[in-house]
Chain A
Amino acid sequence: MKRILIDPVTRIEGHAKISIYLNDAGEVADARFHVTEFRGFERFCEGRPFYEMAGLSARICGICPVSHLMASAKAGDQILAVDVPPAAEKLRRLMNLGQVLQSHALSFFHLSGPDLMLGWDSDPASRNVFGLIRADPALARAGIRLRQFGQEVIESLGGKKIHPAWCVPGGVRDALSEERRVHLQGWLPEARATARAALARFKNMLDGFQEEARTFGDFPSLFLGLIGPDGGWEHYGDRLRFTDAEGKIVADGVEAARYAEFIGEAVEPDSYLKSPYFRPLGYPDGCYRVGPLARLNVCDHIGAPLADAELIEYRQRGGRTVHSSFFYHYARLIEILAATEFIEALLADPDMHATRLRAEAGVNRLEGVGVSEAPRGTLFHHYQVDENGLLKKINLIIATGQNNLGMNRTITQIAQRFIRGDKIPETVLNRVEAGIRAFDPCLSCSTHAAGEMPLIVRLIAPGGAVLDEVRRQ
């Protein structure tokens, strides 16, 4: 068996490589996505006070620190055994929406936009954000400003765009000032117009992307996302819904604290990325996907008029349960639009100026699970503490990890469709990478704890002979 290596994968958040295995007939037999960087937050945060975790875990990543803040603070809420004040929940929701919006804007306009707008076969020298600017400067500029709006939401609440230490166990530190509230409201028309323009542009292009829609990870799987009390789209609550490939609900209203009954975590020797799976179906049959595609699949509706109208059209185009990972891009744009609507509603809420923002308590439970929807999917923080609140055990289940099995299937499908022989033309290489980019993986936080996963590096010759093997246990 021959192996074709793509290293590094470009225009994703972090470092990774892909191995593509050919059989003796020279056909693609399998493909694997490897994460090659190691972080180890689960291990080195042990012994720290649980209330430090929000700030510490936010440092995991400069792209979605808010998601970790949310999940960590919610795990802290559980340890304090408090309900956060309603105004604090609204403010947390506002910040999380800003996070979803800014991250999705980056993914669509910066990372995947060059492929989508310029084409997979366009000149690689200009298939980047500068090429995008040359092709459509107004859209490119609007995309950057859209991300800026999301960052402004975060900064308005947390005091800074990256790593705001604002969300804490029990609530939040500060309300939104009137000046910043008005400032953010002023952004909304432009942000919404950009989202709608991008959606219109994407839908116009979609007919030309039929090949990609069929081959970029179009396969049946389960889907997981948070769900609102009325079956609505959710990004902050604590109830989980799993649906199957036909859209049938297989687990609903599951409290986040019970996640381990439904989610198992496998490890593979060739990647730092964990491979979570739906436990009742076992590994790897319990492959499920999270993120924008999954959130739109599991919800009955979004709960925002413009986004709900788009959801209807989305389902007309892709089906009630959309299988193609290529539709992650489309789902991301609908979520951006939804975020502008939810942000608008929250900014008009009188609770933005509330003063009761934090429930004070000590350690009342020795275990807590916090969950939130990060831009890339459902994020779990699970802490066990001693009676002084010092962390004894930490488990983080990250969106990118939960999509690991889906990403492997996606790149296998793309490779099987496009690779002929033992060479990878640049345009095929880019399609394989684009299959990964559809998931918008963020590798900063999705790697496993120190020392718990063996790593094997194999040098494989044509014919399958292993020439060398390095094993770290």
Chain B
Amino acid sequence: MTPLLVIGYGNELRGDDASGPCVARRVADWGRPEVDGLAVHQLTPELAAALAGAEVVVFVDARVEDGGREVCLRRLEAGPGTVMGHTSDPRWLLALAEALHGRRPEAWLATIPAADFGLGGRLSATATAGVAVALRQIDRLVHARNRELAADADFA
């Protein structure tokens, strides 16, 4: 089972929409056994199996500029969400994992503020800064998870 899986999603040819996949690739490049990264264009139904095989999942997505400049990290619960045939949202995917495989992981959603969704493969300064923050937040989650596991081991 994957201890912590980061799923970054978005279109890598639409500017800041690539911030999610960018985070996931960086995480995969860490090469750490306790965390893996998966960069995808869309959240497709077959990802439910990957979710069911992870203890913790962090979804990373770009956020349309809403005035806030912070990276938001919040807990997610399974729910109806939205589904558009071939693509879906994290809550729907969590529900699908539970329905299909009998379990869903603890889940988080990190959203990175975006400034430019125009055609192109470069992130704006806003998104670039957000990617760095998201990576630090994920790193903290990994460390917190490691501490929990270590405490559990000590207790046992």
Residues on A facing B (Cβ under 8 Å)? 11-13, 59, 62-63, 106, 110-111, 129-130, 133-134, 137, 140-141, 144-145, 147-148, 151, 160-163
Contact = CB atoms under 8 A, between A and B. Distances in A.
Summarize B's interface: helix, strand, loop or mixed: loop
Contacts of A133: 99-100
Given A62-B86, A63-B86, 8 more contacts: A59-B13, A106-B86, A129-B45, A130-B96, A133-B99, A161-B40, A161-B44, A162-B44
A144 B84 contact: no
Contacts of B13: 59
B25 to A, nearest CB: 12
Contacts of A62: 41-42, 86-87
Given A129-B96, A133-B99, A134-B99, A162 B42 contact: yes
Given A62-B42, A148-B46, A162-B41, A130 B85 contact: no
A145 B11 CA distance: 24
A151 B41 contact: no
Interface string B82-122: 01111100000001100111000000000000000000000
A130 B42 contact: no
A-B residue pairs, 8 tightest by C-beta: A148-B46, A162-B41, A63-B86, A133-B99, A13-B85, A130-B99, A62-B42, A144-B45
Nearest to B39: A160
Among the interface residues B40, B45, B49, which one has the most CB atoms of the partner chain A within 10 A?
A: B45
A13 B99 contact: no
B48 interface: yes
A110 B44 CA distance: 11
Interface in B44-85: 44-46, 48-49, 83-85
A41 B12 CA distance: 18
A130 to B, nearest CB: 5
A158 to B, nearest CB: 12
Contacts of B95: 130
B86 A13 contact: yes
18 contacts: A62-B87, A106-B85, A110-B45, A129-B83, A133-B99, A133-B100, A134-B99, A140-B100, A144-B45, A144-B46, A145-B46, A148-B46, A148-B49, A151-B46, A160-B41, A162-B40, A162-B42, A162-B44
B41 A13 contact: no
Contacts of A111: 85
Contacts of B40: 161-162
B51 to A, nearest CB: 12
A54 B99 CA distance: 38
Contact of A137 (B11, B49, B86, B100): B100
A319 to B, nearest CB: 30
Contacts of B87: 62
A438 to B, nearest CB: 14
A162 B96 CA distance: 21
